[in-house]
Amino acid sequence: MPERRTCFHCGERTDPDTALVADSAPDRIFCCRGCKAVSALIEEEGLANFYQHLTASPPTPKEISHNERERLLELDHDVLQRSFVEREADGTNRASLMVTGLSCAACIWLIEHHLEKIPGVREITINHTTQRATLAWDPQSISLSEVLLAIRRLGFEARPYSSNELEDQLQQQQKKSLLRLCVAGIGMMQSMMLAIPLYFGIISGISETQYLFFRWASLVVATPVVLFSARPFFEAAWRDLRSRYLTMDVPVALGIGIAYVSSVWITIVGGQEVFFDAVCMFTFFLSLGRFLETRARLRSGLAGGDLATMLPVAARREKAGGEELVAAELAAVGDIVRVRPGEVIPVDGDILSGQSQINEAALTGEYIPVSRGPGEAVVAGTVNGSSPLRIKVTRTGNQTRLSGITRILNQAQSEKPRSAELANQVARYFVAAVLVIAAAAYIGWRAAGADNAFAIMLSVLVVTCPCALSLATPTALTAATSALRRKGFLPARGYALETLATVDMLVFDKTGTLTQGALELASVDHAAETDRDQIMDWAAALEIHSEHPIARAFPATSRVEATGVQNHLGQGLSGDIDGERLYLGSAAFVLGEADVEIAQATADQGVRIYLCRYGQWLATFQLDDHPRPDAAETIQALKGLGLNVALLSGDQQLHVNRTAKALGIDTAWGEAQPETKLARLQQLEREGHRVAVVGDGLNDLPAMAGARLSIAMGGASDLTQLRADAILLSSRLAVLPTVIVLARRTRNVIRQNLAWALGYNVLALPAALAGLVPPWIAAIGMSLSSLIVVVNAMRLGREHSSPAKTVPDADQRPQFSGLS
């Protein structure tokens, strides 16, 4: 009979009559043409290392049917791509995909390296845990369907990512885990009942026949527990061993496997003691601990996904003579939608008619509804409270503010901080040490003539818990990130919380950060040969091209048009109007070489900016800004936490001093250009300070980039928010003291978790080596060790009052920009 061999690519058994041989390597056998073609493709592209990294069999490639090709081509349509494709400024398209068929890290390696070689694919990253891929491609060079077909040819499937679908899969896994747990629990109770006669049989004097009956009955009970309930431990351990990576599953699987196999052997050939009850207890307690741990982590890990479920699936779009109900993702920019009281707003847009109270708690953490009326912006995911609204759509689908927050949250949770990486490395070496110590314990106690040498070895294998080390940091960060998001603070980088807990100095920008940013035009002084209306038109024409808070003090429209407008960061604007070059900004910028008298601002005056042409003074604008209602109290709360607070602004020094004095800030620097701000921060770092910067404008970008940690206000420009390490969604400064307290609590919880994990193992291992810990107690201890770490981390998700009293203000509304 011909020898049956396994497929070189997928590992399936081959039929000798139909097996195919590789053209370049006769010793390589394939089960089908698909596997042979994929293997040849891998070789041609220089990705043969895939088979060296392989730790589990990849899926068998299948022929791509005509209908499947058509379904993939449909994903190239703009209408369908609105819901999951983001179009960036440089023309790159970016999408989140769900990849199925991943069996191990080598599959990810293969897909990423294969796609990186395809022209037009700019980036591909895959998260094995969530099966989520981020794909960036140039639509001018390659279509999305072509990329998906390339993934399909490798034997994997990719489709638009759905958080609901992922949650469904995770819930199915939880149900299966619960079934395994139930089987293990029933087996544990039955095996313990059967073990009582075996333990006391010698004393009670049961017969040999009865003794054998109870052993065989225990074998029957323990077998489904090992083969079904303990299967995840064996699969994970085998995967880890093949990848030469040691995790806690390796000693656990060895402990269960050795105890079961030795007990079966003793039952068949005879011997002293069996461990079927211990095997069932191992499996039950370990499965129970992992089930509870996974459940808690799942609840926190899916917190970001809760945002995606806030959007309604349908929207009421206006049409001639009435309205129609359409899918929310089909609403286009410029459409008008109607939202009834109590409904969730489906799109970002501007109110055309209606005055209502909007509940923005889900996004900003601010539970007091805010009043919105015509001309004001509303965002998807917020709730319309009291009156009907007509809204003109400005953003839909994955371009909305809500989608931007979700992407940032996912990015922050996917990044591993340094402490987590270090803990994973320690855990890996710890497992190797445990395996060596367990073997040495068995040999030593056996040589000493101890009857319980085998039980001691099992206890050593099971009692240690490196998993607690690996969980100590990520569980705490996940819980804290979810809690902060509910309060209106969004960490945009994985290291943000860890860094925030260490800062000793906060440096604030002034306009739009410590102040409301709603500058008002107090007075206009202009040259005799001009009139006020003409001056206002010229200034407005320039300010239309600026996102600085000063621009909001000028009209949003102008009767004249400015061309060639340049934004001089931290100085002002310049542009051509009616053939003449005009300059609007600080005195130093616009007057330069002008021979005119300028009255200097006094400490009691607000911001002054000047307009000139060709060095000729045209006008002086006096603007006033007011501190945020919660600014002074927030500064005092931050000082109470032991932080140094400073003000760094590009505004005039006298005005900066006035604001600093009003808020209780002792250190203030004014008239700082972007490069000056950066130099000042670098100097502070050299002096030993650990600095965090809070700002909102483009002129703050250099300083924010050079700071240890940068925090952008909710009303900051798009670019500023995208570059920041964290975002204050509600623009309520009173949140900052709470955030810092929570960051410090998170650091303390991480330290507690690490101390517990290390302390437990340091104490438990010697006790197990001394024979003081029975195997079943070891299983309980190991499960509790991980569970305690997770439960301790979950405490961070509880509500805690802010150190700074929140100052409610009807006019203090959360600011929104286009974070998308």
The residues that are catalytic are 509
Secondary structure of residue 620 in the 3-state scheme: strand
3-state secondary structure of 539: helix
Q: What angle do CA 760, 763, 766 make, to 5 degrees?
A: 135
SS3 of 268-310: HHCCCCCCHHHHHHHHHHHHHHHHHHHHHHHHHHCHHHHHHCC
Neighbours of 140 (CB within 10 A): 9
Contact 639, 624 (CB under 8 A): no
d(CA 287, CA 285): 5
Name the burial class of residue 279, with classes exposed (0-12), middle (13-18) and buried (19+) by CB atoms within 10 angstroms of its CB: buried
Q: Look at residues 637, 645, 682 and name the one whose alpha carbon lies nearest to residue 801.
A: 637
Given a contact cutoff of 8 angstroms between Cβ atoms, the answer to whether 720 and 695 are in contact is: yes
Phi, psi angles (nearest 5°) of residue 593: -100, 15
Cβ proximity of 480 and 706 under 8 Å = no
Residue 165 phi, psi (nearest 5)? -65, -40
Q: Give ∠ CA 711-716-719 in degrees, rounded to 5.
A: 85
Alpha-carbon span 744 to 733, nearest angstrom: 18
Q: How far apart are CA 667 and CA 639, in angstroms?
A: 13
Q: Is 397 left (phi over 0), alpha (psi -120 to 50) or beta?
A: left
d(CA 746, CA 600): 49
Q: The tokens 């129970």 sit on which residue?
A: 288
**Residues 616 and 592: beta-carbon distance below 8 Å:** no
Distance between CA atoms of residues 675 and 698, nearest Å: 12
Angstrom distances, CA of residue 596 to CA of 589, 617, 697: 14, 7, 31
Task: Decide: residue 566, CB within 10 A, 0-12 exposed, 13-18 middle, 19+ buried.
Answer: exposed
Answer for the pair 345, 339: CB distance below 8 angstroms, yes or no: yes
On the CB side of 768, how many CA atoms lie within 13 Å of its CA?
32
Q: With CA atoms as reference, report the closest residue to 648 among 596, 601, 683, 600.
A: 683
Secondary structure class of 505 (helix, strand, coil): strand
- End-to-end CA separation in angstroms for the chain: 64
Task: Check residue 4 and give left, alpha or beta (phi > 0: left; psi -120 to 50: alpha).
Answer: beta
Q: What DSSP character marks residue 695?
A: E
Residue with tokens 């390589």: 28
| C-alpha of 578 from chain center | 50
Q: How far apart are CA 508 and CA 677, in angstroms?
A: 11
CA atoms within 13 A on the CB side of 538: 28
In degrees, to the nearest 5, what angle opens at C-alpha 103 toward C-alphas 115 and 225? Answer: 170
Name the residue with tokens 């404008």: 697
